[in-house]
């Protein structure tokens, strides 16, 4: 199975984000199975006609999100799904709640700000 992808240079999203989003979606749906070996940064960059740093940035973001894992010289693979995303979201939510409290926002104002940020991020 080859990781076939194109990047639209005229899209509103930067190229690294297009790569990150497409790989994350394919991993989430199972189109890229757990253990699937991703191409090297340089090889994938050449295939896409991009700078290696662009692909590396996408891979770093995917690894931070727990979507992929790097196994040293063995390569980069789709990671097993786990609770990484839920754990990181809970950590971010706790940090937000503490910051909102320190700023003096009451619970309703803090919740309204969070809901507005979610609407902006999810487009709803």
Mean pLDDT of 56-80: 93
Mean pLDDT of 55-62: 97
Q: What is the pLDDT of residues 100-109, one digit of tens each?
A: 999 999 999 9
What is the enclosing helix (H) or strand (E) of 107? Answer: helix 107-122
pLDDT for residue 101: 95
Smallest Cα–Cα separation from 66: which of 45, 49, 81, 46? 81
If you average pLDDT over every residue of the chain, what do you get? Answer: 92
**110 in Cβ contact with 101 (< 8 Å):** yes
Q: What is the pLDDT of residues 67-77, one digit of tens each?
A: 999 998 999 99
- Confidence at 84, pLDDT banded by 50, 70, 90: low
- Confidence at 1, pLDDT banded by 50, 70, 90: low
pLDDT for residue 87: 72
| Stated pTM of the model | 0.69
Measured at the CA of 82, the angle between CA 78 and CA 87, to 5 degrees, comes to: 120
The architecture (CATH level 2) of 15-78 comes to Orthogonal Bundle (1.10)
pLDDT for residue 86: 73
The 8-class DSSP code of residue 42 comes to H
SS percent in the chain: helix, strand, coil, step 5: 60, 5, 35
pLDDT for residue 45: 96
The CA distance from 37 to 39, in Å, is 7
The CA distance from 49 to 18, in Å, is 14
Q: Domain limits of the chain? A: 15-78, 83-123
* Ramachandran bin of 104, using left for φ above 0, alpha for ψ from -120 to 50, beta for the remaining angles: left
């Amino acid at each position: 199975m080859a990781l076939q992808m194109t990047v639209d240079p005229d899209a509103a999203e930067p190229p690294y984000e297009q790569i990150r989003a497409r790989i994350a979606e394919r991993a989430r749906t199972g189109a890229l199975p757990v253990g699937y070996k991703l191409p090297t940064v340089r090889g994938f960059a050449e295939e896409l006609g991009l700078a290696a740093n662009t692909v590396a940035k996408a891979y770093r973001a995917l690894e931070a999100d727990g979507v992929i894992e790097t196994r040293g010289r063995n390569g980069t693979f789709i990671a097993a799904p786990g609770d990484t995303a839920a754990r990181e979201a809970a950590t971010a939510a706790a940090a937000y709640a503490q910051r909102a409290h320190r700023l003096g926002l009451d619970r309703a104002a803090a919740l309204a700000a969070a809901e507005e940020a979610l609407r902006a991020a999810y487009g709803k």
